[in-house]
Structure 1
Amino acid sequence: MQKHLSVSLLILAVFALNACRSNNQSDQKTLEQTNHEAKGTFGYDVAFLKKHNSALILQAPDNADAQAIIIPEYQGRVMTSTANGSEGNSYGWINYKLIESGVNQPHINAFGGEERFWLSPEGGQFSVYFKKGQTFDFANWQTPAIIDTVIYEAVETNSSSVSFRADATIENYSGTVFVIEINRKISMLDKAAIISELNIASLEGCKSVAYESVNALTNKGTDWKAETGMLGIWLLGMFKPTEKTVIVAPFSTHLSKKPLLTDDYFGKIPADRIAVKGSAVYLKADGKFRSKIGIAPKSARDVAGSYDAEKGILTIIQYDLKAAEKYLKSTWEIHKDPYDGDALNAYNDGRLADGTQMGPFYELESNSPAKALKKGETLTHRQRTYHFEGSKETLGAISQKVLGVSLEDIASAFH
C-alpha cells in the first residue's frame, strides 16, 4: 500500500511539473502574442520592461510610431527605441537574464540600453572606479552606485520628454571627494528637428526615430583642480549586432591625414576587423571579437554611426565636441597625461579569456571634456541618437551627408 501511494505521489508530481512547464510556455507564448511579434520587437520589450520596472514610454511629437523606453531605476537610461511602433525593430540591446533575475551583480549591473549616463575617468590616478592604492584589475573594479544602482528621480515628464535629477558624493583614486548633482533630460525629436540637426534634405522613403539627451553635472562641493582630478560625462549606447553590422567613425583630416586613433585597448585588432579608408575608421560590429577604438578630440568628428546591412538599419550619434579642450583618459593604468583621452569610443563585444560573454552587443560612446568647475558651476554634454530604416537610396544619402561615406563604402570596407 505504501509503495502504491509513493508511486501515485510520484505520478502526481510529474503531472504537476509538466503542468508548470506548460504554463510557463503558455505565459511566454501569451507575452509574444500580446506584443504582436516575437522577441526583437519594440512591443515585446515594452511588455518585458514594464513587468520589471516603471518604464516610461515617450513618442515623437509628430510621429506616434517613433518611440523610446526610459527607465528611472536604471539612472534614466534609454533602454531601446523604434521607428515603427510596437511591431517595429527594437534597437537597444537588453540584458533580459539579468533584469529578470532581480539580483544585483558585483562590479557592474549591465542592464543594457542604447544610451546610459556614466562618469569618467574609469582608470588612472583620478579614477572613480578604483579605490586608492588598489591595483587596476577586474577584482578591484567597481562601478559607482550613482551610475549603476541608484534610481533617478523623474522631476518633470510629458508625452515626448522626461527630466531626471540625482545627487551623489564620490571619491576618486587620489582621495579627492566630489559632491555632485546630476540632471538629465531626454526629448524625442520631430522630423523637422532631425532634418535640421543633421542638415539633410529629406526623410522621404524611410522611417525614423531620434532623441536628444542633455546631461548636466554640477559641482556642489569644493572647487575642482586639474592636479587632484576632475570628472567628465560619458554616454554609452549598447546596440544589437549582426554579421553585417559595421561601425563607422569619421575623423577630421584638418591636422593629419591619419586619425589620432587608439586601437589596442584589448590588444591588437586583427586587420580583417578594422580598416581606415579615406576619412573614416571602420570596425566590425558582429559581437564576435572583443575590440575597442578611441579617437582623440583633435581628430574626431561630432558624429559616428553604424549600418546593419542585414536589417537595413542606419544608426547615427551626434554629440557636443570641443576639440581644443582636455578629455579624461580612462585606460587602467597611472597616466603620464590624464587629460589626453578620447572624445569618441566604439566597442565590439566578444568572448573573454574564460569563454564567457556578456552580450553580444556593440557600443557607440561619446565623452565630454573635463573642466575645473568651481562650486556651483555646471558641465553639460549633449548627444542625439538617430535610427533610420527604409530605401537604400534614402539611407545612402543620409550616410553620405552625415558620415561622409556611402552604404557601398561601408559594405565594402572589409572586402
Structure 2
Amino acid sequence: MFLASKTICSARAVVTLGIASVVLTFMSSCSSSNNDTMSSTANSFGTDLEFLKKHQQTIVLTAPDDDSAQVAVVGALQGRVMTSTANGTSGNSYGWINYKLLESGKFTPHMSAFGGEDRFWIGPEGGQFSIYFQEGKKFVFDDWQVPPVIDSEPFDLVSSDKTKAVFRKAASLINYSGTKFDFVIDRSVEALSKIAIETAINFPLKDVKTVAYETVNTITNQGADWNKETGLLSIWILGMFNPTPKTTVVVPFVGGADHKSKINDSYFGKVPAERLIVEDSVLYFKADGKHRSKIGLPPSIAKPVMGSYDAEKGVLTIVSYDLDPTGDYVNAMWEIQKEPFKGDAANSYNDGPVEDGTQMGPFYELESSSPAKALKKGESLTHRSRTYHFEGDKMALNAVARRMLGVSLEEIAKH
C-alpha cells in the first residue's frame, strides 16, 4: 500500500533494506492473526455488504443495465470502494475488508487499514517533501503518520444516485519542508454499464459477467502557488483484493534492452525469483498473500493497465489508469532524496507474515499514481482509475486477457 513505506498497519512500504527491518518490528506490533483481521476470501458480496451496513453508512451503486453488478462505497472512509461483485449478493466479493478494525469502530495509530479495493491517498510518502512525516522527524515508523484527511476523516457526500456518488473534502497539509498546501479534494465513483465497458476496452463481451467502476479524483489548489523547489502533491489510488494460492498479478510494460532493470523489486528485499517472473514486456507477480513483497514501475516503462487472474475462482481483474510517460512522479523512499520526482507510476504489493508469524491480511494490492503538478491557485490535477472484474466462460475470459494484458490465461497460470 505504501510506496516507500507500506506499514503493516497499512499494508506496504517502499523502503530501503535498512528501513525494512524497522517495518517488520512495527508490523508485528500492529498486526493481528489472520482470523482476527481478514475478510474471508470465501465471503459472498451479500455477506460483506451486510457486515459493512452494520458498521458504516454504505452506498450501493449498480450498473445502469445490470442490477447484479454492484459496488459498495463508504463516504465516511474517504469515499472508498470497499468491495464489488459481478453476480449480485450471492456472487464473489472482490475487495479485502478488515473486519476486526471496522467492528471495533476505532482508528489505529499511524494508519487505519480498513481495506477496500479503491482508496484515495496523496503522495509523496517519504523524502523532504513528504506529507507523512513532520519537519525534523526521523524517517522511521514511530514518526510516520497518514494524514487524518485521508485516513480518519469522512468525505462529504455531494450527490448520489443509482450509479454514481460524488464526494468532496477541504484539506490543508504541511510537508516535511514546511510548505503548506490548501486544496479541495473532489472524488466520484461511478458504476459502468456493459456497453460503456465494451467501448472502453474496445472489445465485445460475450458469455462474461462483469462489474466495473471508474473513480475520478481531483485536487484543486486553494492557496499559494505550488512549485518543485518546495514540494508538490500527487494523487495515489490503492486497491486491496482477496488473494488465493492461484492468483497472479500481470503487469505489461514497454519492452527495451534496459527496461527490465528499471523495475523496482527490492522494497522489502529482493523478491524471490519464483515469485516474480520478468519477461521482455510483461511481468508476473505471485499474489497469494503468503510472502510480503512489492514491485514498482516508473512512468517511462509503465503502461496504463495492469491486472490479475485468480485461476482458482476464475476471476480476471483489470485496472486501467491515467499515465503520463514523461511526467514527474513523486519518490516515496524514506530518506532525503536526490531525485524527489523520479518515483513509480504503478505498483503491486503482496501481503505476507512478518517475523512473528502475524500479518494484517492476507490481501494483495494494485496501485497507480498521478504525476505531480506545479499548480497555481485555482488549478487542478485529476487522476482517473477504472477497475474491472470479469467472470464466466474461460475462452471468453481468455480473449479479454489477451486484449487487455497481451497474454493468455494459460500463460498467466504457468507463472
Task: Return the TM-score normalized by structure 2.
Answer: 0.89
CA distance in 2 between counterparts of 1:38 and 1:407 reads 21
Higher gyration radius (CA): 1
> Aligned pair 1:275/2:277, yes or no?
yes
1:258 CA displacement: 2.8
> Aligned pair 1:101/2:104, yes or no?
yes
**Where do residues 46-57 of structure 1 align in structure 2 (5 Å cutoff)?**
46-57=49-60
Task: Report SS of the residue matched to 1:382.
Answer: strand
- Residue matched to 2:233: 231
1:278 CA displacement: 3.3
- Residue matched to 1:173: 176
CA distance in 1 between counterparts of 2:311 and 2:80 reads 27
> Aligned pair 1:301/2:331, yes or no?
no
Q: Contact conserved, 2:353 with 2:359, CA < 8 A, in 1?
A: yes
1:286 to 279, 285, 288: 288
- Residue matched to 1:315: 317
Q: Contact conserved, 2:243 with 2:364, CA < 8 A, in 1?
A: yes
> Aligned pair 1:190/2:193, yes or no?
yes
Task: Report SS of the residue matched to 1:103.
Answer: coil
Counterpart code for 2:147:
P
CA distance in 2 between counterparts of 1:291 and 1:322 reads 26
1:255-297 C-alpha deviation (Å, 9 max, x unpaired): 8553621110111111111111231111100001110000000
1:335-367 C-alpha deviation (Å, 9 max, x unpaired): 110000011000000112333210000000000
**Where do residues 53-202 of structure 1 align in structure 2 (5 Å cutoff)?**
53-200=56-203, 202=204
Q: Contact conserved, 1:259 with 1:295, CA < 8 A, in 2?
A: no
Q: Contact conserved, 1:259 with 1:299, CA < 8 A, in 2?
A: no
> Aligned pair 1:357/2:359, yes or no?
yes
CA distance in 2 between counterparts of 1:129 and 1:257 reads 31
- Residue matched to 1:378: 380
1:130 CA displacement: 0.7
1:360-402 C-alpha deviation (Å, 9 max, x unpaired): 0000000000000001100000000000001110111101111
Task: Report SS of the residue matched to 1:388.
Answer: strand
Structure 2 segments unaligned to the other structure (5+ residues)? 1-39
Counterpart code for 1:74:
L
> Aligned pair 1:407/2:397, yes or no?
no
Q: Contact conserved, 2:63 with 2:193, CA < 8 A, in 1?
A: yes
Higher relative contact order (CA 8 A, sep 6+): 2
Task: Report SS of the residue matched to 1:196.
Answer: helix
CA distance in 2 between counterparts of 1:154 and 1:148 reads 17
Counterpart code for 1:322:
D
Counterpart code for 2:398:
G
Counterpart code for 1:73:
A
1:406 CA displacement: 0.6
Q: Contact conserved, 1:251 with 1:259, CA < 8 A, in 2?
A: no
- Residue matched to 1:213: 215
Task: Report SS of the residue matched to 1:226.
Answer: coil
> Aligned pair 1:262/2:264, yes or no?
yes
Runs of 4+ off more than 3 Å: 254-257
Q: Contact conserved, 1:171 with 1:178, CA < 8 A, in 2?
A: yes
CA distance in 2 between counterparts of 1:355 and 1:156 reads 44
1:238 CA displacement: 0.1
- Residue matched to 1:15: none
CA distance in 2 between counterparts of 1:254 and 1:55 reads 46
For the structure 1 residues 227 and 357, does the alpha-carbon distance in structure 2 shift closer, same or farther, using more than 3 Å as the test?
A: same
CA distance in 2 between counterparts of 1:217 and 1:278 reads 36
For the structure 1 residues 387 and 259, does the alpha-carbon distance in structure 2 shift closer, same or farther, using more than 3 Å as the test?
A: farther
Task: Return the TM-score normalized by structure 1.
Answer: 0.89
Task: Report SS of the residue matched to 1:386.
Answer: strand
